[in-house]
Chains A and B, each alone.
Chain A
Amino acid sequence: MRVSLKWLKDYVKLSVPAEELAAKLTMSGNEVGEIDVVGATWEGVSVGQVKALEKHPDADRLLLATIDIGKETITVVTGAPNLEAGQKVPFARVGTQLIDGHTGKLIKLKPATIRGIRSEGMACSEKELGISERHEGIMVLPEEAPVGMPLSQYLGDTIIDITTTPNRPDCLSVIGIAREVAALTGHEAHIPEITYEEQGAPIQDAASVEIDDPDLCSRYCASLVTGVTVGPSPQWMQQRIIASGMRPISNIVDITNYVMMEYGQPLHAFDYEQIKERKIIVRRARDDESLYTLDGMKRELNSDMLIIADATEPIALAGVMGGADSEVIDSTTSILLESANFNAGSIRRTSMRLGLRSEASARFERSISPELAPIALRRATQLLVELGGGKAARGIIDVYPGKSERKPILLTQERVDRILGVAVETERVRQVLTSLGFSSEPSGVSSELLVTVPYWRTDIRLADDLIEEIARIIGYDEIPTTMLSSGIPERAPAPLLSLKETIRDLLVGSGMQEVITYSLVSRATLEKIDPQQKLGSALRTANPMTLEQEYLRTSLRGGLLATFSANERHEEDGIKLFEVGKIYLPKQNDLPEEREALAGILGGTRLDRSWLSGEETLDFFDAKGIVETVFNRLHVEASFQPAEAQGLIPGRTAAVIVDGQQLGVLGEVHPKTAALFDISTEPVVLFEIDLEKLLPFAGAVPRYQPLPRLPAIDRDLALVVDADIAANQIQAIIRSFPLVSEVTLFDVYSGKQVPEGKKSLAFSVRYRSPQRTLTDEEVDRTQQKILEHLEREFGATLRS
């Protein structure tokens, strides 16, 4: 909300500079953004009076205006259509900074000679002064404006822009801010008495109000003013309306807006003559009803919406927008003013549904006090009488079905100390509360207060609410700074959390870069990963901001492939990425299962380009080596079996298996999938591991093995086998023999010297016994047995 300090001064003394005031408001909860000084550029502009107007001797449409600016009188050429002798106008001397009426840019006023007559200044429009967009004519100042006074002194203002928190509807008003300023600066807020003359018959003779749905309308007040003349509102009011960020419309509308800004109570003015049977009924709409609102739109109503109806039909959407038929127009002479309290939730729902959120709905939805309704009504009625020339009927209508007593709150010294961690003297507490309009009295027990909350503070309900009031007014700097002193609570073990962190470290140590991709992906991405993707296999957001982020991912693949692709365009070196994150698997009528997953992707040159590196590219075995290293460091024994998987190349894909259970997959990305993600690197290898399946194995504690004391004997074993026999099967058999302690595959070869359809595998076998030193003969015998076994099982022969 934009608050004019000039206006604020009507209610509270402003004894500190605007910046300091803004800081105090900010610290206490009303955050001040911009501070706008109106008239900062008006040096050289003063109040002038038009003494004489004559025709320009050489131009029909130009005038010569003689303007008295106090110390001197100046004659200027002007084309303004609205100038009249006797008027007070803002007059700018040459050299003044003004806004160019056409370009909107700041310019410096220069002397001008028009048709032979020299002008040393000019009378200004509102736009030229930066007051409003109006540029049709010269701004006319009120008659009482003192000739010669600098305009900044007469019209200047400082506007502060306050962001109010949703719990403080009272601060959406100048008086509300005045109350805050009073408490913060030690002054008192003065809210003027409202008096006006009432005439004729009581209002009850002229109109009636019924509330059919008191759950949505706790109070409805109305007054009647007859004989008003609709026209523009006075300049001072227009200026305040503009300062508040609204547009002046007519005296009647301006008065309702003015009082809303002043008190925080939205009001509505009906054309009394249009209310059928002079009857106001507050009720829920019927599903078949509709209403043309002020903006000319036809609104279909339903029974969730609260409306104001007359005897026959809806005439306004309660608290949201008036109806076109009962709108005040130029010929209106009698006004029925409404000041009511509508249910916050209902107003919020209706205004959101219709997209009609306004200054009024913002106040209602924050729960303003019903006590405000008659006060604001009387203030607006007073202004209608004073500025609209009307006669107020005797009394007001006040239907108040929602009246409730607010009980005083018990505030103990002990609670204050316990929440704030500092002893605030009861006297100080009382003084702070009093400055904010609370009244307090001793409860009978010492160091306890019974606090009565002022009607405008609808946000205060508990003792802790009062404690916040104390803290924010005395200032948080007064609160001491202490460290938690109680013992550290018991902690639950979090093995999954530490597994994730360990894996991150292992992969970073293996040369991979961690990425974090969006958990939300597009339908297209899901389909690229799995063309057979079924609807419902991924959770969908109901209101996606963009189709790129519509579905919750069911694998990490999409994000990694897309990230690989995006980086490929500018990276010369190999790319090695991994992500540890959640995937979301839908469940029936419940929150989805959120599973922690790991995925990695790599491709491109093996070594970063340098004077040392060659041309080798990353391949399947780089990825496998990384996965093996991770499992090895976790002390988990994994095996890799040929497998087929969606999106990976058959024959270049392995299932990662631990204890008979598949934990994940590793393989080269299928060229079709790569193409869908615009990846041109070949090969690109991907792995995916289900961390929740890995978790039960990952806790293994390694058992210490005594270091070997006896020497080992190493033998090589070069075999020729069929090309399709898996190396790990042979390796497993070799290792199963007693005395074999390690088997390392050190060569794989096919080509010359190896028959077609065969391959050669060369193992280095280490023999060792923990009990005795082995003899060559023993080792030879074992190696021979191994060979015989492999011959039987796989038809293996020794490579000659």
Chain B
Amino acid sequence: MKDKLDELRSKAISELDSIDAPSDLDSWRVRYLGRKSALTQVLRGLATLPLEEKRSVGAAANELRAFLEKSLALKEESVRESEVARSIERGRLDVTLPGRPPALGRLHPATQMLRHICDIFLSMGFEVVEGPDVEWEYYNFDALNIPPDHPARDMWDTLWIDFETEDGQRPMLLRTHTSPMQIRVMESRLPPVRVIVPGKVYRYEATDATHEAIFYQIEGFAVDRNITLADLKGTLFEFAKQLFGEERKVRFRCDYFPFVEPGVEMAIDCFACNGAGCSLCSGSGWIEILGAGMVHPDVLRRVNYDPEVYTGFAFGLGVERMSMLKYGIEDIRLFYSNDLRFLRQF
């Protein structure tokens, strides 16, 4: 009997060793561990054996059963592993094929720059306010110390609206700058104010690589007790560094805008040549980026702010110009041609 069990063991193990498909494992199990298997027959037949033999054969048969079950488990494990390895081998991808992109569009570069600039000023406590594109001459000019026949009107070539009052005046226009909102905001609020105004502005101007008839401006102004030119410098220098990089040098020079006094123009050192002079900065080493100044006392008086009590600063900058400088765009007309091959670059 013992010999029979030994024979069974070696036969079962050698058959098990040769199996490599999961389905063959099942028939092996039926063959050697199933109800009709030789081993099960032996175990069933134990009862008929004499006690002495029953004990020794029973122990050997049970030991063999446990051994075969363990061998099967180990074999199952190794067959599964090689099966996984085979399926991995079959499932190799060409990982260099392009991915499946999620649908995601882009913001217009002007919007991106507007947001970027607004965020910088929002972090300095400014509030975003918007105003009308179509304005009265009063807000666009007169209230800003630019009366009719003032030579400074040449600084803003104007698109007028075809609208006449009864007495033949033509007082409606497309705003030439965002500065009218200085007046509108201050007329409707008591100081202090700290506001930026993004918006479209319009010029009666032939377009070329650096001139557009329509472009975005951001106006900013702050009025309170004790605001100084030094605060203007600090605010704008911080802005320039956040936009163009910490290493940029910044300077003010005297300039004239009728609604500020003193008036300045801010420039950054040219990042193309680091101030040595190149075509981007027309050899000067400096790039003008915005106009600014201290709000003119007459402007404050016009909105019933007492200039003896309140002082403030104002600035205005062209948004596309900032994008052009930052991204190296050479033609402003690209912005509103909306060519996807351009828009997709940002």
Contacts and interface: CB of A to CB of B under 8 A. Distances in A.
Interface of A: 26-29, 31, 165-168, 344-346, 348-349, 362, 365-366, 418-422, 462, 464-465, 467-468, 471-472, 476-477, 479-489, 491-492, 494, 497, 501, 504, 507-520, 539-545, 549, 552, 563, 566-567, 570-571, 575-578, 582, 584, 589, 591-592, 594, 608, 610-612
B136 A516 contact: no
Contacts of B45: none
Contacts of A488: 125, 194
B159 A420 contact: no
B34 interface: no
Interface string B310-346: 0100000000000000000000000111111101100
A591 B174 CA distance: 10
A462 B233 contact: no
A563 B160 CA distance: 26
Nearest to A573: B340
B230 A511 contact: no
From A26, A419, A539, A610, residue with most partner B Cβ within 10 Å: A419
Contact of A420 (B111, B228, B335): B228
B305 to A, nearest CB: 13
B127 A489 contact: yes
Nearest to A626: B103
B134 A594 contact: yes
B252 interface: yes
Contacts of A345: 148-150
B267 to A, nearest CB: 10
19 contacts: A166-B151, A344-B149, A345-B150, A419-B262, A421-B228, A477-B251, A482-B228, A482-B233, A483-B124, A486-B192, A486-B226, A539-B161, A542-B162, A549-B214, A566-B339, A570-B339, A589-B165, A591-B134, A592-B134
Interface of B: 97-98, 100-108, 110-111, 115, 124-125, 127-130, 132-136, 148-152, 154-155, 159-163, 165, 170, 172, 174, 191-194, 200, 202, 204-206, 213-214, 222, 224-231, 233-235, 237-238, 251-256, 258, 261-264, 294, 296-297, 311, 335-341, 343-344
Nearest to B313: A484
Contact of A507 (B105, B159, B162, B235): B105
A484 B223 CA distance: 10
B257 to A, nearest CB: 9
Given A421-B228, A482-B234, A584-B133, A567 B253 contact: no
A544 B159 contact: yes
B343 A513 contact: yes
Contacts of B103: 510-511
A567 B338 contact: yes
Most interface-central of A464, A482, A485, A594 (chain B CB within 10 A):
A464
Given A540-B161, A543-B204, A591-B172, A166 B155 contact: yes
A464 B296 contact: yes
B152 A567 contact: no
B148 to A, nearest CB: 7
Given A344-B149, A484-B125, A519-B133, A540 B162 contact: yes
Contact of B160 (A471, A504, A543, A582): A543
A472 B262 contact: yes
A591 B131 CA distance: 12
B194 to A, nearest CB: 5
A612 B100 contact: yes
Given A476-B233, A541-B159, A566 B338 contact: yes
B252 A479 contact: yes
Contact of B233 (A479, A567, A582): A479
